[in-house]
Structure 1
Amino acid sequence: MAWSGTEFLPLLPRRNPRLDSFLKRNTERALYERIRTYEPCVVVSDLINKVYMYAVLTDERVYLTEYSPRALTTAVSFWRVRDIELVNDLPDFLSAKDRERCQHIRITYIPEKPAEKDRDWSQREKKRLPPVGPPSRRASHCQIKTHDSKGYPADSWWKKEELSPVLKTSRSASCPDPETLGLLRIPHPPSQLLSSYSPPSPSSPAEESLKTAESGQVTRRIGSILTRLLKRDQENVVGGREAELHLYAVSQTSTLYLHLQSSWNSFIIKSTLLLDPLYRRRSTTSSDSISEERTAHLFAQLSAELLQDGISLENTYLLLQELKTAAHRNVALRRHFWRSGDVFLFLVQTLEECLQGCQSLSGVHSTDQLLLSTLIVQTIAIMFRETEVEAARSILLFSKKGALICRLLLALICDPDVEKQSLGSASELQALLSEYLDAACCLLFELLLLGFETSRCFPGDNFVTVSWILRVLQPHPHMPSFIHHQAQQLVKVLSDQQESILSPVQAVLLFQRCRLLLACLQYNNQLSQHLQSHFREEFRYIVTPAGVEQKLQPHYPICRPTVRLVQSISTLIQQR
């Protein structure tokens, strides 16, 4: 039976009309459009003890709101996250049934250091943004600040709307200020509800009575509690202590962990790339001010020109450059790319004809074909960024048993041996082919991320999992040499003593290359054997965590995740 693509919709977030309406009404558009998913879960941290809440995930932060939403606040920024992992345990505060199906997610992060002038609560009150709206229903606005890994405000190249999403909701009785939610023990359902894990009805009289009785006490204690907790938070930061946020999703089909990992991966890649001046200049101009209708119109125009009959190679290249640049800056355009589907199919067909067609006929590449192939692969890779929750993407990629993914995978792999090429100078072809192979690694990384998500929700061999992807690629005649090249490049970068520190762009490529090679070691026996037989000594003595730390700046957000990947590679090599 052919897949329609809808079988994979469980990967997408479940909608809750009440919460969705609350978020749409009470957050700025820039924040609302960056919400990837939300799920109910039990929250445990240093300051919140087993409270049933919603975790709201964007591409930069995890927010929390009460089960009956009244206020939204930042729980943790991905800037400060050190690790996100699943914990294999049986929480004793859940019933026996719920313990078995619980997904316990632990987020380890560095607590944010309060600004010197904001230590005193009264001073923070004075610094509030001016109220907006009618006097009788004025909203209390809170400025949510983004900080870098050292605790200082992020560089000015972060878009203003991303730095300061403004809440339009009024203060709730149990939380006088939305920014304080992470600091208060907010009222929560009685302990007997947690034992059976039955979330209270939004209109439960008992819940409302509990909130009404406690709200006055919370308000009276607010000053002393905040003073004490802010002081404790400051002491934790000074001592360098890591904090933990625990999210207990009581559902075997929960996708919260998948979306957390995906968002964190995207964030560390993007924030590392933004440390590069050239990349930052390309990303600074925001297209968020363009309306959805205008974006759709511009994409339709560009698509029509690109898909016209008889378009020349040169015009295809120029139009694709325009599409890539626009998609790089505008996530809305990436969503339209998947909703259309025609351009994606055109790019796959063009890559087949341009790269694979020339190899089968003459065994050579021309410079024009390599240039266009590289641009196609780079463009498709960008379209995968921050579009995980786009339903049209899942339906398109997974329909007909993943036929389009198969075609893309087989078109993507090429022979990296320049000595076989006869057109153009060897040095010129080497440079162009190396650029293409780097781009192919980046796109294959994006496809593997898709496979990891599917593996989690649909274990087995009949879906687009990591094993399925590598099994599709395994018979390709150039797959062993392609992986050999990727491993060679990894060894070359880590053994090169002339260039001690990698640039942000090189650091991201190193991370993606490590993830690709680790997947080969973990999920495909033939590729694993090839890597071990040809690179055992190099992986043991050169591809090491210490070697990576010497090549990466410690302030690169991607540094720690890369070190962990290399540690996993080293462990697998040593075990075998």
Structure 2
Amino acid sequence: MARTGSGALLSRRNIKLDSFLKRNTDRGLYDRIRAYEPCVVISETVNKVYMHVVLSDERVYITEYPPRTLTEAFSFSRVRDIELVNDLPDFLSGKDRELCQHIRITYVTDKPAARGRDWLRRDRRVGLSPAAPPSRRSSHCPTITHTSDGYPAQRSPRDSLTEDVPLLPPTRSASCPNPESLGLLRVPRPPTQPRSTASSPTGSPTSPLSPIAQRLNLPDSGQVQRRIGSVLSRLLRRDCEASGEEREAELHLYAVSHTSRLYLHLQSSWNSFIIRSTLLLDPLYRRRCSCSSESSPGQRLPAISWERTAHLFGQLSSELLQEGISVESLYLLLQELRTAAHRNITLRRLFWRSSEVCSFLVQTLEESLHGCQSLSGAYTADQLLLSTLTAQTLAVMFRETEVEPARLSLLCAKKGALASRLLLALICDPELQTQNQKSLVDCELQALLAEYLDAACSLLFELLLLGHEASRCFSADNFLSVGWILRVLQPHPHLLSFIDYQAQQLVLGLSDPQETFLSPGQSVLLFQRCRLLLACLQHNNQLAQHLRSHFREEFRYFVKPSRAEEKLPPHYSISQPTLQLVEQILDLTLHR
């Protein structure tokens, strides 16, 4: 789980819940839990129950208050929309009603609609799988060698950072056939109440309500459990007898704290999931990541420990920061760092705690792209290759690290000095300054420049996601909003041409008749370009007016939802969110 240096969560830590999760989930699941937060839950079968929502990088879980069981609510692969609803819930009053954040999650389910008592009947046997022995949760060093990108290489002491380190196979019990319970461990089920008390909605709770739940006059999970058994079983039990057609369902979460970050965590987790799951459809990306999902259960290995990762990252950092390092050595070390970051989320968190490495990468981008150009003013192949790798490495470091406090602290330090340098460094002139752009050398340079511009778009997308998170925070120190990012970029002499290039690529990507379907990587890049252009249209009047005046006609004839639907395969997780972004861009460009 994401932590500060002392081991605390980014948000306010619930010691009881954190202890429950640590004891009763396998290490693979616990380490990938991003956040948890209490809120009021409403769904087809749950009506205003105060519970805890637990977010991992792939799924959302719900547990009682206080926690007894942990059950999957939905996978991000089934989510269609996550939105804030601007309303005043009638079951709240006073400041709680005014400050409440109502989050509506629309997702696809195979379950039939609730069917009275049959749907609410509890399967007493279904629980969490048996607890793993203590040694399973201990740290181990992997023993297999994995070479980068499929090329043979000599094994170094640091190879365990970049090798396949999949998680231990979660145990299953005969009483828990539901695959959605994988990774969860059994906890004692509280004694069931007699049926006579279950029918009484006014029974006294077996555990005290939180102050918020008492103030809201909402039932806690103890009350609900006596009345109808387990809330989670009602909400989440699979219908094993019939699998009807997919249908949309809604889950409503009401966060009553005005400092709640639940919506931000949900959006960020969803963004990360749809990007990663789409990229994993590309065999080359899968090989680069050596993701644990490729390994069969019998081949899974224990994850590398935090301490071992920190030691190996320290070795790599010291080599990167040594004086007089050659360009060739720097390039190879950055390749190693990028590959390790793809495969190891712990390394990404450690990266943000090492301000020297992050500052070094920003300086490398500044010097390679802007400070060391040839006498003719044109880019060289070495500069573009190093700049692209640096931008790609920085972009990977942002993935799934939004709950790492050191990231925000580092980027906000000294009034955003490092963030400003990074923003200004990644923007460049998309036009190649050469005498003869038809020559073979210039064509190769143009291809390298296009690759860098794609990497710069991905990195700027990550920074804008950070800005969206910051815009909803209530801290005076957190000024890294989307508007601030675009204001920092506005004086850059090549900003307009850079944005023009991204808009042109959007038009070309949707209008190219030779491309039937976009590849996973192209689809992700299309999604990121749409988010970038939408941010310009929504948060900067000058950029919005520029896009409307220069691209209105191109967007009108070529950027159509129907064209996007033809280009984006329906089985890509990112397809539906991208279609929604295209519709928003057209609305802001053509109708305003």
- In the superposition, the TM-score normalised over structure 2's length comes to 0.80
Count of paired positions: 521
- Of 335, 341, 350, the residue aligned with 1:327 is 341
CA distance in structure 1 between the partners assigned to 2:568 and 2:222 by the alignment? 55
1:245 aligns with 2:262: no
Give the aligned partner of residue 138 of structure 1.
none
1:400 is the counterpart of 2:414: yes
Compute the RMSD of aligned alpha carbons: 3.8
Partner of 2:577: 561
CA shift at 1:90, angstroms?
Answer: 1.1
> Who is 1:179 aligned against?
none
Q: Equivalent of 2:282, from 276, 284, 295? A: 276
What SS class does the counterpart of residue 242 from structure 1 fall into? strand
Per the TM alignment, residue 126 of structure 1 is displaced from its structure 2 partner at its CA by: 9.6
Could you tell me whether the CA contact under 8 Å between 1:467 and 1:524 is conserved in 2? yes
Shift of the 15–380 alpha-carbon distance from structure 1 to 2, 3 Å rule, reads: same
Any idea what the Cα deviations from partners look like across 1:378-397, whole Å, max 9, x if unmatched? 00000000111111111111
Q: Among residues 167, 170, 189, which one is paired with 2:188 in the alignment?
A: 170
Residue pair 1:103, 1:249 contacting (<8 A) in 2 also: yes
Question: How far has the Cα of 1:28 moved from its partner?
Answer: 1.1
State the one-letter code of the partner of 2:347. Answer: L
The one-character-per-residue Cα deviations of 1:196-217 (angstroms, maximum 9, x if unpaired) are 983259xx9x9799589x27x7
Matches within 5 A, 1:156-235: 164-173=182-191, 198-200=212-214, 214=226, 218=229, 231=239
Q: 2:548 aligns with which of 525, 532, 536?
A: 532
Q: Cα 1:188–1:378, aligned 2, differ >3 Å: closer, same or farther? A: farther
In structure 2, the partner of 1:260 is 266
Is the 1:364–1:421 contact (alpha carbons within 8 Å) kept by the matching residues of 2?
no
Deviation per CA, 1:511-559, whole angstroms, max 9, x where unpaired?
Answer: 0001001111111122112211211111112112111101000111001
Partner SS for 1:418: coil
CA deviation after TM superposition for structure 1 residue 12, in Å: 3.7
Please tell me whether the aligned partners of residues 71 and 172 of structure 1 are also in contact (alpha carbons under 8 angstroms). Answer: no
C-alpha contact 1:48 1:185 (8 A) present in aligned 2: no
Change (3 A) 1:63 1:557: same
The answer to whether 1:293 aligns with 2:307 is yes
Q: Shift of residue 575 of structure 1?
A: 2.0
Note if contact 2:59-2:76 (Cα within 8 Å) is conserved in structure 1: yes
Hey, what does 1:415 align to over in structure 2? 429
Residues 354 and 95 (structure 1), Cα distance of their counterparts in 2 relative to 1, 3 Å cut: same
Which one-letter code corresponds to 1:346 in the other structure? F
> Distance between the aligned counterparts of 1:373 and 1:69, measured in 2?
48
Please, which of 500, 510, 516 is the counterpart of residue 532 of structure 2? 516
Q: 1:80·1:110 contact (CA, 8 Å) conserved in 2?
A: yes
- In structure 2, the residue matched to 1:574 is 590
Cα deviation digits, residues 65-84 of structure 1 (max 9, x gap): 11111111111111111110
Q: Report the 3-state secondary structure (helix = DSSP H, G, I; strand = E; otherwise coil) of the residue aligned with 1:502.
A: coil
**Structure 2 match to 1:371:** 385
Instruction: Using the TM superposition, give the Cα deviation of residue 313 of structure 1 relative to its aligned residue in structure 2, in angstroms.
Output: 0.3
Which residue in the other structure is 1:96 paired with?
94
What letter is aligned with 2:185? L
The change in CA–CA distance for 1:189 and 1:316 in structure 2 (over 3 A counts) is farther
For residues 412-467 of structure 1, give each alpha carbon's deviation from its aligned partner in whole angstroms, at most 9, with x where no partner exists: 01111014478981101111000000000000000000000111125999811101
Say whether residues 1:549 and 2:555 are aligned partners.
Answer: no
- SS where residue 76 of structure 1 aligns? strand
Question: Residues 418 and 498 (structure 1 numbering): CA distance in 2 closer, same or farther, change over 3 Å?
Answer: same
Is contact 1:514-1:566 (8 Å) kept?
Answer: yes
State the shift of 1:104 in Å: 0.5
Segments of 5+ residues of structure 2 without an aligned counterpart are 113-118, 135-164, 171-179, 293-300
Q: Which moves more between the two structures, 398-407 or 157-166?
A: 157-166
> Percent of aligned positions with the same letter in both sequences?
63
Deviations 1:337-393 (A, max 9, x none): 111111110011111111011359642111001000000000000000011111111
CA apart distance, 1:240: 3.2
Whether the 8 Å CA contact 2:64–2:221 is kept in 1: the answer is no
Q: Normalising to structure 1: TM-score of the pair?
A: 0.82
SS of residue in 2 equivalent to 1:67: coil
2:506 matches 1:496: no
Contact kept, 8 Å, 1:337 with 1:343, in 2: the verdict is: yes
- Of the three residues 503, 507, 510, the one matched with 1:487 is 503
Q: Distance in 1 between matches of 2:24 and 2:123?
A: 25
Structure 1 residues 282, 187: CA separation in 2 closer, same or farther (over 3 Å shift)?
A: farther
Q: Distance in 2 between the 1:16 and 1:35 partners?
A: 14
* Partner in structure 1 of residue 479 of structure 2: 463
Aligned AA (1:535) = F
Asked whether the 8 Å contact 2:42–2:252 carries over to 1, the reply is yes
Q: Which amino acid aligns with 2:187?
A: T
Cα offset for 1:264?
0.3
Quick one: which amino acid aligns to residue 413 of structure 2? S
Whole-Å separation in 2 of the counterparts to 1:19 and 1:71: 11
Query: Given the alignment of the two structures, is residue 426 of structure 1 paired with residue 442 of structure 2, yes or no?
Result: yes
Q: Relative to structure 1, is the Cα distance of residues 186 and 543 closer, same or farther in structure 2, using a 3 angstrom cutoff? A: farther
CA deviations 1:134-191 (Å, max 9, x no partner) are 9xxxxxxxxxxxxxxxxxxxxxx9967588312242223369xxxxxxxx99989989
- Distance, in Å, in 1 between the alignment partners of 2:41 and 2:235 is 23
